[in-house]
């Protein structure tokens, strides 16, 4: 009943509809959505109609469709991402008062770094990351920390490549990357100058819950900024987050 | 194809599954989910399976199910809630450094105040609100502001009652509530002592985008705290958020 003749589930088709929305594309007509999903037009229109009926999508006065607050509520209310992010936020704010650039929290999701939170100073420098945005694990400082402490199977899969160059300084050589990950595990932090954008340096540390690395806490700085005080602030904040996660169980 | 014999859509059944997760119930077995949805067990189990396959739910080592990061990502990435909340956050942080209690951002969603963000000082007093949590519009200070500036049809629907008492001081008389809403529209802020919890006072102001009130910015204070400086801080922050919303268009 829930499966079409082509074998994809109704859930999969709903995901395809929701997946057409991005941070750059928050409003679409039902026809644009239909085209972008690649689903038969009648199927896509019917799913959009059902999603609007349930409040997961909303229609505005000009008949354009956007993601609904009900979807936001359902996704967040019981989310472990929210628990982690709520534990981290006060300590991220403290880092941010010291660093006054960008402070971020990321988790591993499908071999990429998914950013749960980002605090930015109005005068801060360049930074490509967005809340609910992703970056490759081998390029971003957060991703490198998550990869260094990830399940060995995942690490080998990523090392087997391809390792795409995000900037000229992204480490794309598997041997060099393997050595870097060993260093990160030993030191407990990474400084990654220019690996995403040439003008910036990423600094990241792991955050643990029940002994496992569950997130990376990072800062993005202008390339020439001193990194030592930032490393110290991030390590202190990670310890404080871990303590809050322990007591909030 | 997508509709069961009982006439509810597949989307509606997926929402029923996701809706069993709350901030107090972040982990469930598939059987608990099935029971709580009221759906036939085989249907519920099949939907849970599909949602896991798409990453909207995740299964842990002990075979319990939780909301997936993929759901979080899909819900946030293109969300207008995220845009509003990102515009508000730096200014909420500024309020929070002055007030050092709770600073919150809420929107109107299905006749209730839905909280998009909450910042709390570690030593702050009582506060029932949660991110992605809801409160009645006639009781919370945020809700009162949203109701005061809402569509008249919604306002009349709420005033027609029933007006449930959340605390002994919640305004539950329609005539008194109507007068309060007029005062809020005239003054541009509300001070609501004890209307949610007797030990706390809520203070809230409207936030406008394109001339429409789109959110309420609020602080929750201990009952005896002075409110004037908080009103001023919230009004200044709301103006700054409105300016950022204007320039981010």
For helices B174-187 and B152-159, give the axis angle rounded to 10 degrees: 150
Residues A77, B23: contact at Cβ < 8 Å? yes
Interface of B with A in 159-198 (CB under 8 A): none
B133 touches chain A (CB under 8 A): yes
pLDDT at B123: 80
Buried b (16+ CB within 10 A) or exposed e, B176-210: ebeebbeebeeeebbbbbbbbbebbbbbbbbbbbe
Please report, for residues A122, B173, B231, the alpha-carbon distance to residue A193 in angstroms, rounded to integers and kept in the order given: 22, 62, 44
Chain A: nearest CA to B175, how far in angstroms? 31
Residue B57 Cα to chain centre, angstroms: 23
- What DSSP assignment string belongs to A5-27? TTS-BHHHHHHHHHTT-BTTB--
Sort out which chain A residues have CB atoms less than 8 A from B18's CB and list them.
74-75
CA distance B37 to B59: 18
Q: Would you place residue B34 in the very low, low, confident or very high pLDDT band (cuts 50, 70, 90)?
A: very high
Assigned token pair, A160:
């087997």
Phi, psi (rounded to 5 degrees) for A237: -65, -40
Q: Any chain A CB within 8 A of the CB of B32?
A: no
Residue pLDDT, tens place only, A229-238: 999 999 999 9
Q: Cα–Cα distance between A14 and A195 in angstroms, integer?
A: 35
Mean pLDDT of B85-92: 93
Q: Contact, B125 vs B221, CB < 8 A?
A: yes
Nearest by CB: A14 against B11, B55, B86: B11
pLDDT at A2 over 60: no
> Do residues A43 and B2 lie in contact, with contact meaning Cβ atoms separated by under 8 Å?
no
d(CA A3, CA B103): 46
d(CA A17, CA A37): 6
Tell me which residue in A4, A54, A81 faces B1 most closely, judged by beta carbons: A4
Alpha carbons within 13 A on the beta-carbon side of A93? 17
Distance CA B144, CA B159 (A): 12
User: B3: pLDDT confidence band, cut at 50, 70 and 90?
Assistant: very low
Provide the pLDDT for residue A125.
81
The answer to which of A21-25, A125-129, B64-68 has the lowest mean pLDDT is A125-129
Cα–Cα distance, A199 to A197 (Å, whole number): 6
What are the residue ranges spanned by the domains of chain B?
10-74, 78-247
Q: What is the pLDDT of residue A7?
A: 61
Residue B1 pLDDT: 41
B-chain CB neighbours of A26 within 8 Å are 78-80, 83
How would you label B20-29 residue by residue, b for 16+ Cβ within 10 Å and e otherwise? bbebeebebe
Residue B2, pLDDT score: 45
Average pLDDT (A19-29) is 93
Q: Could you read off the pLDDT of B40-58 as tens digits, one per residue?
A: 999 999 999 999 999 999 9
Cβ-proximal residues to B230 (8 Å cutoff; 6+ apart), any chain: B98, B99, B203, B219, B221
Angle, in degrees to the nearest 10, between helices A152-159 and A174-187: 150
The model carries a pTM of 0.88
A134: left (phi over 0), alpha (psi -120 to 50) or beta: beta
Span B117-133, average pLDDT: 86
| Peptide bond just before A161 cis, omega within 30 deg | no
- Cβ of A26 within 8 Å of Cβ of B70? The answer is no
Q: Is B44 on the interface with A (CB under 8 A)?
A: no
Instruction: Supply the pLDDT for residue A23.
Output: 86
Residue A180 distance to chain B (closest CA, Å): 27
Taking only the tens place, the pLDDT of each residue in B132-178 is 999 999 999 999 999 999 999 999 999 998 999 999 999 999 999 99
- Tokens matching residue A134: 């992703």
Band (pLDDT 50/70/90 cuts) for residue A138 is very high
pLDDT at B116 exceeding the cut of 90: yes
Interface A-B, measured as beta-carbon pairs within 8 A, has a size of: 174
What distance lies between CA A246 and its chain's CA centroid? 23
Q: Give burial (CB, 10 Å; 0-12/13-18/19+) of B63.
A: exposed
Mean pLDDT computed over B174-193: 96
Q: Looking at residue A1, what is its pLDDT? A: 41
Q: Which residues, including other chains, have CB under 8 Å from residue A166's CB and lie 6 or more apart? A: A135, A136, A139, A140, A195, A196
CA B222 to CA B197: how far, in whole Å?
10
Which of B50, B116, B119 is facing A2, going by the closest CB pair?
B50
When scoring B23, B79, B146, B247 by the number of chain A Cβ atoms within 10 A, the one with the most, hence best to mutate, is B79
Where is average pLDDT lowest: A27-41, B62-76, B87-101, B117-131? B117-131
Q: Give, as one character, the DSSP assignment of residue B44.
A: H
Q: Which residue, chain included where needed, has tokens 């990102």?
A: B86
8 Å CB contact between A143 and A137: yes
Instruction: Give me the residues paired with residue A205 across strands.
Output: A217
State how far the alpha carbon of B81 is from the alpha carbons of A164, B111, B114, B131, B154, in Å.
33, 17, 11, 12, 21
Tens digit of pLDDT for each residue in A159-185?
Answer: 998 999 999 999 999 999 999 999 999
Q: Which residue in B70, B90, B107 is closest to A109 by CB distance?
A: B70
| Mean predicted lDDT score pLDDT of chain B | 92
Judged by DSSP in three states, B65 sits in strand
A10-74: CATH topology: Arc Repressor Mutant, subunit A (1.10.10)
- Copy the structure tokens of residue A127: 């930074």
Q: Is the pLDDT of residue A6 over 80?
A: no
Here the tokens at position A92 are 């991220």
Question: What whole-number distance in Å separates Cα of residue A224 and Cα of residue A233?
Answer: 18
Question: If residue B208 lies in a helix (H) or strand (E), which one and from where to where?
Answer: strand B200-209
With a pLDDT cut of 70, the percent of chain B lying above it is: 97
Q: Does position A107 have pLDDT exceeding 80, yes or no?
A: yes
Q: What is the pLDDT of residues A85-95, one digit of tens each?
A: 989 999 999 99
Given a cut of 60, is residue A5 above it in pLDDT? no
* pLDDT score at B187: 95
- Show residues of chain B in contact with A93, CB under 8 Å: 93, 119
**Is A66's Cβ below 8 Å from some Cβ in B?**
yes
What share of chain A in percent tops pLDDT 70?
97
Residue B80: which of A128, A36, A21, A81 has the closest Cα? A21
Residue A54 has pLDDT above 50, yes or no: yes
CATH T-level fold of B78-247: Beta-Lactamase (3.30.450)
């Amino acid at each position: 009943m829930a499966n079409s003749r082509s074998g994809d589930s109704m859930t999969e088709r709903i995901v395809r509809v929701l997946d057409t929305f991005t941070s750059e594309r928050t409003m679409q007509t039902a026809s644009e959505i239909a085209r972008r999903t690649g689903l038969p037009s009648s199927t896509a229109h019917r799913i959009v109609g059902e999603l609007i009926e349930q409040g997961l999508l909303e229609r505005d006065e000009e008949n354009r469709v956007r993601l609904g607050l009900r979807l936001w509520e359902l996704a967040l209310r019981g989310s472990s991402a929210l628990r982690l992010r709520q534990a981290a936020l006060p300590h991220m704010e403290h880092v941010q008062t010291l660093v006054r650039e960008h402070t971020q929290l990321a988790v591993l999701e499908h071999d990429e770094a998914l950013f749960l939170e980002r605090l930015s100073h109005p005068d801060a420098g360049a930074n490509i990351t967005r809340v609910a945005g992703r970056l490759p694990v081998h390029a971003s400082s957060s991703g490198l920390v998550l990869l260094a402490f990830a399940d060995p199977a995942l690490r080998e899969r990523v090392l087997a490549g391809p390792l795409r160059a995000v900037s000229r300084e992204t480490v794309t050589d598997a041997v060099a990357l393997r050595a870097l990950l060993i260093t990160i595990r030993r030191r407990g932090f990474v400084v990654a100058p220019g690996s995403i954008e040439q003008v910036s340096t990423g600094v990241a540390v792991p955050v643990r819950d029940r002994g496992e690395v569950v997130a990376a806490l990072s800062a993005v700085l202008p390339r020439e900024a001193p990194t030592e005080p930032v490393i110290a602030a991030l390590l202190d904040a990670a310890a404080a987050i871990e303590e809050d996660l322990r007591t909030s169980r």
